[in-house]
Each structure stands twice: as C-alpha cells, then as structure tokens.
Chain A
Amino acid sequence: MAYSDKVIDHYENPRNVGSLDKNSDNVGTGLVGAPACGDVMKLQIKVEDGIITDAKFKTFGCGSAIASSSLVTEWVKGMSVDKAMELKNSQIAEELNLPPVKIHCSVLAEDAIKAAIADYKKKNGNGA
C-alpha cells in the first residue's frame, strides 16, 4: 500500500507533537482509541476567548493515524471552538487521500478533537 505524499509529509514532519498542561483550566484533552485496536490519539487544545490558540497531539498508530492527528492540530489552531466542532472526518480523509482501509484513522481524529472540546467545556461549565 503506497502512502500519499501528504501522509508522508505529516508523518515525517509532524506538526505540533507534544503536550499541554492537562490540569490547566483553558486546556481541553481528548484521548481516544485503544491500544488493543492499534490506534490511540491524545489531542489537546488551549482556548483563549473562544479561540483555539494552541493544539498538540501524541499518537500511537500507523502513518495515517499520525498524519490525521497532525493535520487536525494544524487546522484547528486559530479556529473558534464552535468552528472546530464542525470538523468532519471526510475533510481529513480527503485532504490526506486516505484509502478506504484508513478511513478509521480520520474518524479517530475527528473523535479526538471533539473529545478535547468536550473536556474543555466540561472544565468551564459547558459555557465557553
């Protein structure tokens, strides 16, 4: 199976690898997937005035999973939380030219950003 150039680029030069302080009130953390399934993504966002000012990820998974999470962190930076909620896995799959067997990687990335936002909202009384 050949990887698309964009997957290779994100895999070799992943954007925003790292961690934010998960105890901070303006940081939301999403942890999705399972080790037994071969994919785990941790995606964190830092929110200021409703805008995502920083995003970091760590992923255990194949190249497509790493690329999907890397791409999402790149996309959501500077986005409002509401806008980020609207991200769809199909956009990720399309941007990375994921083959059908790798669609689940983009689904997981969508789940990860949604989970991070949910965590942030929970910390901040659902308001934000």
Chain B
Amino acid sequence: MAVKVPIFMDNHSTTPVDPRVLDAMLPFFREDFGNAASRNHVFGWRAEKAVEIAREEVGKLIGASAKEIVWTSGATESINLALKGAAEFYKEKGNHFITGQTEHKATLDTCKRLEKEGCEVTYLPVRSDGIITAEQVAAAIKPTTIMVALMAANNEIGTVNPINEIGAAIKATKKDVLFFVDAVQAAGKVPFDVTAGKVDLASVSAHKIYGPKGVGALYVRRKPRVRLVEQIDGGGHERGMRSGTLNVPGIVGFGKAAELARTEMAQEAEKLTALRNRLYSYLTTNLKEVHLNGSWEHRLPGNLNVSFAYVEGEGLMMALKDVAVSSGSACTSASLEPSYVLRALGVGEEMAHSSIRFGIGRFNTEEEIDYVGKHVVEAVSRLREMSPLWEMVQEGVDLKSIQWAAEH
C-alpha cells in the first residue's frame, strides 16, 4: 500500500490550501500587489475589484450579501468584534449574553472578559450528545438579554446545533436579541444560511475551508441593521467596523475557497461521510470499547471523535507518529485538564483522556483511511496490553470499586 506519510487527518485545526486557491492568490503577491484602499490608480482599483469579488463569494457561502461581509484577520477577531462590539453599542439595552459550555475558547474567553466589564453571561449546558436545543436557549432569554452566541458546529466533536430552530426560537421569544453564530466549522461543510437561521452576526474563517491562514470575516446583518462599536481604530476601512489595510491575497484566497466550498459542498460531504463511516466501522469491528463522543446523526461529515477505553490519548498519538490527529487528553494541553467540551457532555475524565479526534478533509483518500485504521487498531491493541486498567477489566475488576489516589 503506497501511502505517503505523514498523513494529515486533523482538518478541524486547519486545512491545506487548495491548489486552485493558491493559483488565484499568486497574482496578488506579484503584479497586482496594490492597496485596495488606493482610490486613484490602477493598482488600487485592481485590488479593490478582487476584494469585492471575494466579498460576494464569501457572502454567497452563507446566504449573505457582499455588503454584509467585514474582513478580519480570522475568526477569533470576528468573534471578539461581534461580542465586544455589540456589548458596547447596545449597553443601554441590556448586558446579558447567552452562550454554550462547549463553545470555542475565542467565544468563552471573550465572554469572560465581558463579565469582568459588567456583563452577565449564561453558559448553557449541552445534552449528552453535545447539542443545544432551541427550547433551552429560549428559556434562558431575559429582559436584559442582548445576544445569544452559539456555534453552528463544534470543533472537537463535530456536532451540529439546530441553528434554524434556535434562531426562530430567539426571535419568537424576544425579537431584538441578536443571534451570533460561530460558523467557522460549519460554513462550507454543512448547509448554513443566515436568513434561514435568522442570524444577525456570524464568524467564518478561510483556513478551515482550504484557504489561507490569517483571514476571516464577520457577517453583519444590514436589514434590520446590526450596529457594532469598532474594536480597532484607524483609517476607517470596512465601513468603519475594522480599520487596517486589507490582506488582499488572503481575501482573494478566501473568496476562491468559499466558491469551491459552496459549489462542491454536496459531493464533498458525501465523500467525507463515506470515509468517516469507513474508519468508524473498521475501528469498531476490530476493537472493543470504542466510544463515540457526540451525536452521530447531527455531525460534520469529516468528524470522528472517539474514546478508546483504557488507553491514554497522548500515548496513543505517540504511536501514530505518521498520522496527525488530535486528542482531548490533558497531556496534550498546557492545563493538564482534559477536554472541557467532552466534560460538558458528561464524558468521564478517564474517557476524555482516551479521546482522539479524526478530522477528515478534502484531500484524504480511502487508502489513507485504511492506513490510519490499521495503525490505530495496532496501537490501541499494543497499548491495552500495556494498560493496567485493561488487565483489571479483563480480570473482572470494577475500576470504580478501586480507591484511586486523587491527585493529578
């Protein structure tokens, strides 16, 4: 089997730039290097034209018009701008935010900042399958609520929230509550439409859809108009919402990536679902005690997050040295705490330590899936032979009956 290693199967962290995207970008590093804000010569005009074509494309990806797209440096900035910008602009109306416990750190840490500045934040729990329901959101809305901030799809477990239902429930409960959706993982992977979801603000990022790093966008609804206080002061670019010279090659790449994601989404989803199912089926056929984390039904096509009981995630990744995946194990994070996302689902700490996230993407092949499956099965089997927990379970010992030392 001629598989080229290392294999990249961590496509939720980032994605390789599609060669078609790179080709679209290159002229804007070379002859068309102009500043899109230069209004009085051809270099500026060309850059501006390219930026506006990209704006159109990124808008189309999420069902928005070009005029509703604000360029940023990435989704983290988009999230910061949406939450802080709205908190500041609408402070006379209220100070309450609703978000979820499994949100990305960019949202959670921004919320923590807002709390320090006097806002109140409700962190909604998720169901054991990782989903937040419309009823939960509606029930949390108060007279002081100004925004609901939720992700469309989760970066770790790939679960997809019922955004359209949630949007409808928000507007039915309190019409002027803003709905911000972090669509970074969902856009271009599963249908996401700002009109269908009654979404007011949404963050997207180029590098998650085979575009370049360092460029993102914030969708800001025009009708009815959503207002934000800018967080970066300067030349008044992007209708005053985000000053700074535009990253023209990056934006052009984002536009091309968005066009490809939109036009190829259906067929790509089908391909990724088949690859994902092939891997899951191989793993569960050849190994015992493989536990799926998060909903199977409401899930991104390329995501598989499983816990291999009695094997520690980082130890497992070390065995898969030719394969790039990621783990919710504490040992992979600086904090020594296992994944807060898995913990929010009610997954036990020991199972969180045993989790591996496979992120299957556009350029993965069936051969790679088979290679990864085979190596994971070998590594898990080997590590279980070395695992005292596995041995105890085989001997019929109930691990919960043991008095473990509590220290971490």
Binding site for B on A (CB under 8 A): 3, 8, 11, 14, 17, 19, 31-42, 58-63, 65-66, 101, 104
Which B residues are CB-close (under 8 A) to A42?
388, 391
Smallest CB gap from A29: residue in B: B388
Q: Interface size class for chain B? A: 20 to 34
- Say whether A36 contacts B348, CB under 8 Å: yes
- Say whether B334 contacts A101, CB under 8 Å: yes
- 8 A Cβ contacts from B314-338 to A: 314-315, 318-319, 329-331, 334, 336, 338
- A65–B385 Cα distance when bound, in Å, is 15
- Indicate whether A62 sits within 8 Å of B386 (C-beta atoms), given known contacts A36-B350, A37-B408: no
- A39–B311 Cα distance when bound, in Å, is 10
- Say whether A38 contacts B386, CB under 8 Å: no
Decide yes or no whether B312 CB sits under 8 A from chain A: yes
Give 27 pairs: A residue, B residue, CB < 8 Å, sorted on A. Answer: A11-B319, A34-B407, A35-B350, A35-B399, A36-B350, A36-B353, A37-B330, A38-B329, A38-B330, A38-B331, A38-B338, A38-B349, A38-B350, A40-B389, A41-B388, A42-B388, A59-B386, A60-B311, A60-B388, A60-B389, A62-B314, A62-B315, A62-B318, A62-B331, A65-B312, A65-B315, A66-B315
**Max count, chain B CB within 10 A of own CB: residue among A31, A62, A66:** A62
Report the minimal beta-carbon distance from B315 to chain A, rounded to whole angstroms.
Answer: 5
- Say whether A60 contacts B405, CB under 8 Å: no
Residue in contact with B386 in the complex, picked from A14, A32, A34, CB distance below 8 Å: A14
What secondary structure prevails in chain A residues at the interface with B? mixed
Which A residues are CB-close (under 8 A) to B391?
19, 42, 58
- Say whether A35 contacts B353, CB under 8 Å: yes
Which A residues are CB-close (under 8 A) to B330?
37-38
Which A residues are CB-close (under 8 A) to B331?
38, 61-62
Smallest CB gap from A43: residue in B: B388
Smallest CB gap from B329: residue in A: A38
- Say whether A35 contacts B404, CB under 8 Å: yes
Q: Mark B73-100, 1 if CB is under 8 A from A, else 0.
A: 0000000000000000000000000000
- A33–B318 Cα distance when bound, in Å, is 21
- Say whether B386 contacts A58, CB under 8 Å: yes
Decide yes or no whether B310 CB sits under 8 A from chain A: yes
- A66–B389 Cα distance when bound, in Å, is 14
Smallest CB gap from B321: residue in A: A8
- Say whether B353 contacts A38, CB under 8 Å: yes
- A62–B353 Cα distance when bound, in Å, is 10
- A8–B330 Cα distance when bound, in Å, is 20
